[in-house]
């Protein structure tokens, strides 16, 4: 007799249905797993046998064959233990055969028969819901799976015995509750930053339109400090965005306690990050930092210190909002709609351009250092600003600074205006100016006569790329939204162009 249990294999952030078929038949004693398993799946055999033994069920002296269908789909991960074990238990009559029909099963087994947490409980639950089934998952993944909806039936047992008792009706499992991570109330606040008014303004504009931002300045001027305060002015995630973000974090096994938070992700990878860490992939395909920052911020501090290959690998996700990883026998895609924020010193000694300072290595100090950032990557950064050292007057007797909550309100207002406009244009899926298509932005950010003249002059003089031209329009649109103006004026374009010019100087130096 063949027992069947449904489970999933993860491809990107989707759970593809997999059928676990278990047959116990006379023949050579042993257990075999077939159907393109990777090493962790092949090792299931040992864990399943030990866990069943510890739960008081020993395997008969027969041949056990486990098939993971479809056979041509690669199976990665350790979450196949539980479906295999349950299939075996059903085949041996330890649990009623029909008990598992309405469930998708994922979970890893410990040798003592307890069930260990696995990554991907949320996408598995959403997949199961789509099939009209419930989910059996480890107790520690239950809170995460419960987010898939209140209608879905979720069993989250601690051990094989607890699950068997549930099916026998002797000890019924209760449904896990979704848990919320407390919004970090003590996030660093913009009010801590003395002076740096223009940098704060640029940060606000970047937050309002979801624009990429580069800060260039001498050591200790507060670049890292400014970036760390960006999350405190960004609007919270919408429910759809929250689900996408949580799916990715679930697949990466990065949802502590299954708790979800509506704060936007803020990822700060170290500059030693490898390609796999940044874009995703590795031995077992996992989302990288760019995907973990989906719908949020990827902050690259000490920008030129990253390896050029890793930086240039970001060019594609910055344009298409997804990371595509080619594997030997398949392709994996992870969403990566990121806002790139980067900080760097102008040169190796860090002081180029400071009044009264001359670099020991002359102009090469600047050109060598900045040359590590490729032109095409720089072209994708909408707002580039100089962050000079804080003046002594600002440090000693600072003017009162605006707290994050006030700035966040203006940002939220500008985002609402954008959302309403995109809905009016019949594109409700676009949420910010930076993510708007070029054809759309030309319609939405049509400048007035004065603005048009300024834009024409600047584009000619600065030799904007086509991308640069559209990005200037997008930033100008955001500036008009912050002003609550329907048309983009000369003043908005002037500011948008000034943000571009700082970078053109950088590219020229490189
Ligand atoms: N504008 C400021 N207001 C108040 N404190 C500041 C300001 N700028 C810098 N500081 C202080 O200086 C410290 C260093 O700032 P930060 O790390 O942000 O500098 P940085 O520009 O990132 O420098 P580096 O280029 O060396 O990374 C901060 O922890 C803070 O104490
Ligand atoms: Mg820093």
Structural domain harbouring 456: 408-504
- Final residue before a domain boundary, out of 383, 402, 421: 402
When pLDDT is cut at 50, 70 and 90, the band that residue 367 belongs to is confident
Same domain, 418 and 470: yes
- Least-confidence region, from 264-268, 408-412, 437-441: 437-441
Task: Return the biggest CA–CA distance within the chain.
Answer: 88
Same domain, 166 and 209: no
Same domain, 159 and 202: no
Atom 14 in ligand 1: residue holding the nearest Cα: 220
Residue 508 pLDDT exceeds 70: no
- Gap from CA of 235 to ligand 1 centroid (Å): 25
pLDDT digits (tens, 9 = 90+) for 490-500: 999 999 999 98
- Quickly count helices (H) and strands (E) in the chain: 21, 20
Matching residue, tokens 């203006």? 410
Same domain, 359 and 255: yes
pLDDT digits (tens, 9 = 90+) for 142-192: 988 998 888 899 999 999 999 999 998 898 999 998 877 766 567 889 999
More confident of the two residues 507 and 178: 178
Q: To test the ligand 1 pocket, which listed residue (198, 225, 349) has its Cβ within 8 A of the most ligand atoms?
A: 225
Is 186 a domain residue? no
More confident of the two residues 507 and 114: 114
pLDDT of amino acid 510: 47
Which CATH number is 270's domain given? 3.40.50.300
Same domain, 19 and 122: yes
Give the H or E element holding residue 457: helix 449-462
Same domain, 167 and 302: no
Is 188 a domain residue? no
CA of 223, nearest ligand number? 1
For residue 145 the two structure tokens come to: 């799976």
In this structure, are residues 375 and 204 in contact, taking their beta carbons and an 8 Å threshold? no
More confident of the two residues 282 and 308: 308
In this structure, are residues 77 and 284 in contact, taking their beta carbons and an 8 Å threshold? yes
CA contacts within 13 A on the Cβ side of 164: 21
Give the H or E element holding residue 53: helix 44-54
> CA 416, CA 482: separation in Å to the nearest integer?
10
- Gap from CA of 67 to ligand 2 centroid (Å): 53
The total of structural domains in the chain comes to 3
Same domain, 391 and 423: no
> CA 471, CA 433: separation in Å to the nearest integer?
9
When pLDDT is cut at 50, 70 and 90, the band that residue 308 belongs to is very high
373-392: buried (b, 16+ CB within 10 Å) or exposed (e) per residue? beeebbbebbbbbbbbbbee
Q: How buried is residue 133: exposed, middle or buried, by Cβ count under 10 Å (0-12/13-18/19+)?
A: buried
CA of 218, nearest ligand number? 1
Same domain, 144 and 292: no
The CA angle 204-208-209, to the nearest 5 degrees, is 125
Atom of ligand 1 lying closest to residue 221 CA: 21
Cis amide leading into 25 (omega within 30): no
> CA 352, CA 217: separation in Å to the nearest integer?
9
- Least-confidence region, from 75-79, 131-135, 303-307: 75-79
Residue 60 pLDDT exceeds 80: yes
Is 203 a domain residue? yes
Pick left, alpha or beta for residue 6 (phi over 0 → left; psi -120 to 50 → alpha; otherwise beta): beta
Name all residues whose Cβ lies below 6 A of ligand 1: 193-196, 217, 219-225, 343, 345, 390
- Does residue 141 sit in helix, strand or coil? helix
Which value, in Å, is the radius of gyration of the alpha carbons in the chain? Answer: 27
pLDDT of amino acid 1: 75
> CA 438, CA 470: separation in Å to the nearest integer?
6
- DSSP assignment of 339-391 equals EEEEEE-SSSSS-TTSTT---TTTHHHHHHHHTTS-HHHHHT-SEEEE-PPPP
Is 370 a domain residue? yes
- Does residue 460 sit in helix, strand or coil? helix
pLDDT of amino acid 134: 94
CA contacts within 13 A on the Cβ side of 196: 29
CA 186 to chain centroid, in Å, comes to: 23
Average pLDDT over residues 353-357: 71
For residue 126 the two structure tokens come to: 């959403």
Atom of ligand 1 lying closest to residue 228 CA: 18
CA 182 to chain centroid, in Å, comes to: 19
Same domain, 202 and 176: no
Residue 75 pLDDT exceeds 80: yes
In this structure, are residues 481 and 441 in contact, taking their beta carbons and an 8 Å threshold? no
> CA 102, CA 189: separation in Å to the nearest integer?
49
Highest mean pLDDT among 54-63, 222-231, 361-370: 222-231
Give the H or E element holding residue 273: none
Same domain, 170 and 203: no
> CA 295, CA 321: separation in Å to the nearest integer?
10
What are the two backbone dihedrals, phi and then psi, of residue 385, each rounded to the nearest 5 degrees? -135, 150
Is 434 a domain residue? yes
More confident of the two residues 417 and 39: 417
- Gap from CA of 346 to ligand 1 centroid (Å): 15
Is 273 a domain residue? yes
Average pLDDT over residues 421-437: 90
Same domain, 301 and 385: yes
pLDDT digits (tens, 9 = 90+) for 380-421: 999 999 998 888 877 888 778 899 999 999 999 999 999 999
Which CATH number is 99's domain given? 3.30.230.10
pLDDT of amino acid 183: 63
- Final residue before a domain boundary, out of 379, 402, 425: 402
CA of 387, nearest ligand number? 1
pLDDT of amino acid 331: 82
Strands 322-326 and 213-216, how do they pair?
unpaired
The CA angle 57-59-64, to the nearest 5 degrees, is 140
- Final residue before a domain boundary, out of 384, 402, 420: 402
pLDDT of amino acid 473: 93
Percentage of the chain surpassing pLDDT 90? 56
Average pLDDT over residues 233-255: 90
The CA angle 243-106-135, to the nearest 5 degrees, is 65
More confident of the two residues 368 and 162: 162
More confident of the two residues 460 and 492: 492
> CA 1, CA 11: separation in Å to the nearest integer?
31
> CA 221, CA 391: separation in Å to the nearest integer?
10
Same domain, 88 and 155: yes
- Gap from CA of 226 to ligand 1 centroid (Å): 8
Atom 6 in ligand 1: residue holding the nearest Cα: 222
pLDDT, the chain, mean? 89
Is 159 a domain residue? yes
> CA 336, CA 290: separation in Å to the nearest integer?
6
Q: To test the ligand 1 pocket, which listed residue (224, 271, 349, 397) has its Cβ within 8 A of the most ligand atoms?
A: 224
Is 187 a domain residue? no
CA distances from 286 to 324, 337, 355 (A): 12, 17, 47
pLDDT digits (tens, 9 = 90+) for 9-22: 998 888 899 999 99
Residue 351 pLDDT exceeds 80: no
pLDDT digits (tens, 9 = 90+) for 464-491: 888 888 999 999 999 999 999 999 999 9
């Amino acid at each position: 007799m063949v027992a069947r249990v449904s489970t999933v294999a993860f491809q990107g952030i989707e759970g593809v249905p997999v059928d676990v078929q278990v047959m116990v038949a006379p023949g050579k004693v042993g257990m075999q797993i077939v159907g393109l398993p990777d090493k962790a799946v092949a090792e299931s055999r040992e864990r399943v046998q030990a866990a069943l033994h510890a739960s008081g069920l020993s395997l008969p002296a027969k041949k056990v064959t486990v098939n993971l269908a479809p056979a041509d789909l690669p199976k990665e991960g350790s979450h196949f233990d539980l479906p295999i074990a349950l299939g075996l238990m059903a085949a041996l009559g330890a649990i009623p055969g029909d008990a598992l029909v309405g469930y998708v099963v994922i979970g890893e087994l410990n040798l003592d028969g307890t069930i260990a947490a696995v990554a991907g409980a949320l996408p598995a639950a959403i997949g199961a819901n789509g099939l009209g089934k419930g989910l059996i998952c480890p107790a520690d993944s239950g809170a995460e799976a419960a987010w898939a909806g209140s209608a879905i039936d979720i069993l989250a047992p601690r051990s094989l015995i607890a699950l068997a008792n549930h099916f026998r009706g002797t000890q019924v499992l209760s449904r896990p509750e979704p848990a919320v991570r407390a919004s970090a109330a003590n996030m660093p606040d913009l009010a801590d930053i003395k002076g740096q008014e223009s940098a704060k303004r640029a940060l606000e504009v970047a937050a309002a339109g979801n624009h990429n931002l580069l800060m260039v300045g001498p050591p200790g001027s507060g670049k890292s400090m400014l970036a760390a305060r960006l999350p405190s002015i960004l609007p919270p995630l919408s429910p759809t965005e929250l689900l996408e973000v949580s799916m990715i974090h679930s697949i990466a096994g990065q949802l502590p306690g299954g708790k979800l938070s509506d704060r936007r992700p803020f990822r700060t990878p170290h500059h030693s990050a490898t390609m796999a860490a940044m874009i995703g992939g590795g031995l077992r395909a996992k989302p990288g930092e760019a995907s973990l920052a989906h719908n949020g911020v990827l902050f690259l501090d000490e920008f030129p210190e990253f390896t050029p290959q890793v930086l240039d690998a970001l060019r594609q996700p910055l344009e298409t909002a997804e990371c595509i990883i080619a594997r030997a026998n398949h392709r994996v895609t992870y969403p990566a709609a990121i806002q790139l924020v980067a900080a760097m010193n102008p040169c190796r000694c860090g002081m180029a351009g400071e009044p009264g300072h001359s670099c020991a290595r002359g102009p090469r100090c600047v050109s060598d250092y900045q040359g590590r950032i490729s032109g095409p990557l720089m072209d994708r950064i909408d707002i580039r600003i100089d962050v000079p050292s804080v003046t002594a007057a600002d440090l000693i007797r600072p003017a009162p600074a605006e707290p994050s909550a006030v700035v966040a309100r203006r940002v939220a207002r500008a985002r609402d205006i954008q959302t309403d406009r995109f809905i009016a244009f019949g594109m409700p899926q676009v949420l910010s100016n930076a993510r708007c298509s070029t054809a759309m932005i030309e319609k939405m950010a049509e400048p007035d006569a004065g603005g048009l003249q300024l834009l024409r002059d600047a584009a000619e003089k600065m030799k904007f790329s086509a991308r640069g031209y559209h990005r200037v329009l997008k930033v100008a649109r955001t500036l008009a939204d912050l002003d609550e103006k329907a048309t983009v004026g000369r003043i908005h374009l002037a500011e948008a162009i000034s943000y571009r010019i700082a970078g053109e100087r950088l590219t020229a130096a490189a």
